[in-house]
Amino acid sequence: MMSILEYAQDVNKSTEEIYKLCDRLGIKYTDENTDLSEDDIVLLDGEVASSLDDEDEVVIDEEVASERAAEEALEDHVEQIVIDSKLNIDDSSNKQKLKSKSERTENSNAKFQKDKKALYKHREKLMDNEEKEDNVVLYKEDMTVGDVANMLGVNSVEIIKKLMKLGIMASVNNPLAFEVVEIVCLDYGKELKNADSKDISNFEKFEINEKEENLEYRPPVVTVMGHVDHGKTSLLDYIRNTNVVSGEAGGITQAIGAYQAEVNGKKVTFIDTPGHEAFTEMRARGASVTDIAIIIVAADDGVKPQTKEAIDHAKAAGVPIIVAINKIDKPEANVEKVMTELSEYGLQPEAWGGDIIMNEISCKSGKGIDKLLENIILVSEMADLKANPNRYAIGTVLESRLDKKIGVVASVLVQNGTLRVGDPVVVGTSCGKIRSLKNDKGQDVAFAKPSTPVEITGIQDVPSAGDKFMSFETEKQAKSIAERRKARLRAKDTNRSGMTLDDLFGRIQEGVKEINVVLKTDVNGSLEAIKQSLDKINVDGAKVTVIRGGVGTITESDVVLAHASNAIIIGFNVRPTSSVVDSAKEYNVEIKLYDIIYKMIEDIENAMKGLLDPVYEEVVIGEVEVRKIFKFSKVGNIAGSHVKSGNVKIGANARLIRDGVVIANTKIKSLQREKDQVKEVNKDMDCGLTLENYQDIRENDIIEVYELKEVKR
């Protein structure tokens, strides 16, 4: 609901103009404060849109006439050159290429006008996303015996008797686990579902049970990932310019961060993300937009650090992987070597008896790309991708921006249902009404079906990439849902929690059977040894899964992956930088650091059993940078150092770090300021220091000074 004044401001018209439209449409009003109904707004939107289109048509006609005159002159000029040169050339293909752009513009605009008028004239009500289900009981956290009895409409004593038969002793106020309530519900012919999965305001967890007869084929959504300069952009550009839907002859532009190509009559949607970090950032917000991940590897360069990260991110997302081995036409290309390296990371080629499709391609010549596209269709057919176009739309934001002229603009991917001009919508925590839809060519469209990327306007706030959206029948419903989402977000911020070692026992009791870990070590030998030890851990059927294992310091990419996968980061003889520590705090990801393998394994096992010993937290009290080494035969190496932060004390624990890797754990043996021996040196001071039982100190090494303090559980 909105007043005439609010509506006039919303569509950038005067109240007098709106009064005239109301009179024409028979809408009753008294003054500018008169409230308009939903039906009134839909009728007015149609009239306003038509008046705007009439204005646009005049401009378009002038542009079309100008373009047509210029192109006809160009065609005449080309024909004259051919005649003058007396060449017998078949210029039919050239004329086809010179086909007037204005005709394409006219056709797309005419289709848009036709679709929009049909939409406003016969606006059908779509299937509501919130549907009541019979025989379904909703489980809420800490649900008690009494709650279950009330939901099932029976006496609490009856539930207690059933629990006793299952070997569970419980009173009316005892909370019950999901699995236990599920068994009880089955006895009464009821199905148990998590309450979050049926809360329509919780887009990220909301589940829709579609009937098979309502489902239709939808195009696959594909993301390309890989190392820098391995050909990701070249591959996307080649596909875009040769297989773009509608086959435009030239001047293809990508208006949004996704586009559609056509392969053997079937569409494929490609998402052009800036990298695998962005891919996982979206997944961290609950946005699983990708159906297939393509890992691109250069045949002359092999598997590189970002290739490994891309593989880890794709595996963690649980989507099918296709490998594209690029640059095969280079003299130094070695496809066998690349396949061997990929197999070491768990991607076994089909040619070697594995299950990963690997295509040899050249983005320069186009060799093998048609086969790659055919394989994408093949994998999508095996996945049996379907959606229901006859319900209100659900989807994900790909990117967004604030335009000075038209306000908030968001590129979105429709994942289920149909998004239409005029539909009320909630994006993230912001609500609005779809004012315009533009496809990947920048053309206006009246609606967008599943797996279609479009650019929308009409929302109030700039959303983040990965935010979910949903359209509704009425603005009142959309505003209500937006308020509920804002309240949930505020509550989530105050109670935000990630996975920690202390949580493991509780999570296992809740039924979690897989504990995700990101593991980083100093050397490959340690990595393999720790992996094998973690694989052997099994507590009450719960196992530890290393979703990424690597050598080197902990990075921000590790933090993003851990956040998206609800994982713990474990470092062995490595140290994160201060920026990575800050990032982990922001994402609420726990980083546990060890220098003894058996202590690490023991801590994880005890955490899973709920038997953790008291925790001693490391408190860093100072950081020192080594700037010059002074060698003395009697004393040994003295590190001429600068205290960058905190302070340094004699006898304090010290950790020598070189290039992010822990070289030694020791203590501060001596401290000297100028010619005096001192007990403590503070920030921004220079000093000389020695370490206990360690001499291999080098310039630019970092010495981290810390204390151990017991933390209450």
pLDDT tens for 479-508 read 888 888 887 776 655 444 566 666 666 666
Q: Which helix (H) or strand (E) holds 638?
A: strand 636-649
Which CA distances in Å does 129 have to 201, 203, 208, 450, 513?
11, 11, 7, 15, 31
Per-residue confidence (pLDDT) for residue 526, from 0 to 100 = 80
Residues 6+ apart with CB under 8 A from 382: none
- List phi, psi (to 5°) of 388: -110, 105
As given in the structure block, the two tokens for residue 176 are 């019950």
Residue spans of the domains in the chain: they are 2-119, 136-198, 216-386, 394-480, 501-613, 617-711
Distance in Å from the first CA to the final CA of the chain: 52
Using only C-alpha atoms, the chain has a radius of gyration, in whole angstroms, of 32
Residues 6 or more apart whose Cβ sits within 8 Å of residue 596: none
Burial 46-59 (b: 16+ CB within 10 A, else e): bbbbeeebeeeeee
Which residues in 479-590 belong to E strands, given as ranges?
A: 514-521, 538-539, 542-551, 568-572
- Indicate left, alpha or beta for 332 from its phi (over 0: left) and psi (-120 to 50: alpha): alpha
Reference 576, options 547, 550, 553, 594; nearest CA is 553
Task: Determine which of 162-166, 207-211, 333-337 has the lowest per-residue pLDDT on average.
Answer: 207-211
Residue 457 to residue 303: CA distance in whole angstroms: 41
Q: For residue 569, give the nearest of 631, 500, 514, 636 by alpha carbon.
A: 500
Q: Tell me, yes or no, if the pTM score tops 0.85.
A: no
- Does the pLDDT at position 42 exceed 50? yes
Cα 689 from Cα 666, distance rounded (Å): 13
3-state secondary structure of 100: coil
pLDDT tens digits along 376-407: 999 999 989 999 999 999 999 888 888 777 88
Please write the tens of the pLDDT for every residue from 14-26.
888 888 888 888 8
Query: Chain centroid to CA 449: how far?
Result: 21
Q: Which fold has domain 394-480?
A: Elongation Factor Tu (Ef-tu); domain 3 (2.40.30)
Q: What is the pLDDT of residue 393?
A: 92
- What span, in angstroms and rounded, lies between the C-alpha atoms of 637 and 695? 6
216-386 and 617-711 share one fold: no
Q: Which fold has domain 501-613?
A: Rossmann fold (3.40.50)
Instruction: Give per-residue pLDDT as tens, 566-620.
Output: 889 999 988 888 889 888 888 888 899 998 888 888 888 887 776 555 567 788 9
Report whether CATH 3.40.50.300 matches the domain 216-386.
Answer: yes
Considering the chain, what is the average pLDDT of its residues?
Answer: 80
Burial group, residue 266, by CB count within 10 angstroms (0-12, 13-18, 19+): middle
Please identify, in words, the CATH class of the domain defined by 617-711.
Answer: mainly beta
User: Cα separation of 524 and 508, whole Å?
Assistant: 30
* Sign of the torsion formed by the C-alpha atoms of 295, 297, 302 and 306: negative
Position 251 scores a pLDDT of 38
Q: Specify the higher pLDDT residue, 216 or 196.
A: 216
pLDDT tier, 243 (very low <50, low <70, confident <90, very high otherwise): low
Residue 349 confidence (pLDDT): 92
266-314 tens-digit pLDDT = 899 998 765 555 555 555 444 478 899 999 999 998 998 888 888 888 8
